Amino acid sequence: MTITITAFERSPDGGKGLARDTRVRWALEEAGQLYEVRLVSFRAMKEAAHLALHPFGQIPTCQDGDLALFETGAIVLHIATHHAGLLPDDANARARAIAWMFAALNTVEPPVLELVTSRILEGDKPWAAERLPLVEDRIRDRLKQLSARLGDAEWLDGAFSAGDLMMVSVLVRLKSSGLLAEYPNLAAYLARGEARPAYQRAFEAQLAVNTSKKS
């Protein structure tokens, strides 16, 4: 059965790949799975039908047969465990790849999201200019550690995995910040992720939605 995901009818970023359906599309592309997309408006996301799928009224969701899932970590893990291409066969390597997924979501993404909050939601506050460097330094702490671990390796733990997919998806949010340039191996890691044909297909698909809605 074809998987159906939800995505923004009109993404606030105009389709630059920042909304979280991109990482789910990417996982499906890596796994070679066809999928359908149901576009939802901001209003529809808060209505009962969508809340039944996503208790927090957000995108993306994923329906696979009679299974309905929310949270990109759970969705990508579901795809990765049911299809080849995103997790190693060796049990320990598989567990480590999943640990990297959690690290991306639980350890690296929170300070990255703080930066988005500081810049977009709190940018007009009188204390914003004082807070921003503190937020940036918390991101630098994580990037420095991640950079040290990655070293000159291509991916975080052997072959490309769902852990890399999630980490690259989180780092994408820093592209416009200038922070990644301070860690050239992470900038190169991000570029490697974005250069993957599966990422390109996912990016183009979500961009097409947003550009076709503009006219």
* β-bridge pairing 61-64 and 35-40: unpaired
Cβ proximity to ligand GTB, 188 vs 207, nearer residue: 207
User: CB of residue 45 vs ligand GTB: minimum separation in angstroms?
Assistant: 6
Cβ proximity to ligand GTB, 13 vs 47, nearer residue: 13
Cβ proximity to ligand GTB, 59 vs 87, nearer residue: 59
Give the separation between CA 49 and CA 199, rounded to whole angstroms: 30
Cβ proximity to ligand GTB, 13 vs 204, nearer residue: 13
Cis before residue 60, ω within 30 degrees of 0?
yes
User: CB of residue 192 vs ligand GTB: minimum separation in angstroms?
Assistant: 22
Cβ proximity to ligand GTB, 28 vs 147, nearer residue: 28
User: CB of residue 184 vs ligand GTB: minimum separation in angstroms?
Assistant: 25
Residue with tokens 């567990």: 95
Exposure string of 140-162, with b = 16+ CB inside 10 Å and e = fewer, is bebbeebbeebeeeebbbeebbb
User: CB of residue 178 vs ligand GTB: minimum separation in angstroms?
Assistant: 17
Q: Which long-range contacts (CB under 8 A, 24 or more apart) does 114-121 make?
A: 114/138, 114/139, 115/139, 115/173, 115/174, 115/177, 116/173
Give the separation between CA 22 and CA 24, rounded to whole angstroms: 5
Give the separation between CA 143 and CA 140, rounded to whole angstroms: 5
Cβ proximity to ligand GTB, 147 vs 171, nearer residue: 171
| Structure tokens that stand for 171 in this block | 């780092």
Contacts to ligand GTB by CB under 6 A = 11-13, 18-20, 45, 57-59, 71-72
User: CB of residue 19 vs ligand GTB: minimum separation in angstroms?
Assistant: 4
User: CB of residue 162 vs ligand GTB: minimum separation in angstroms?
Assistant: 14
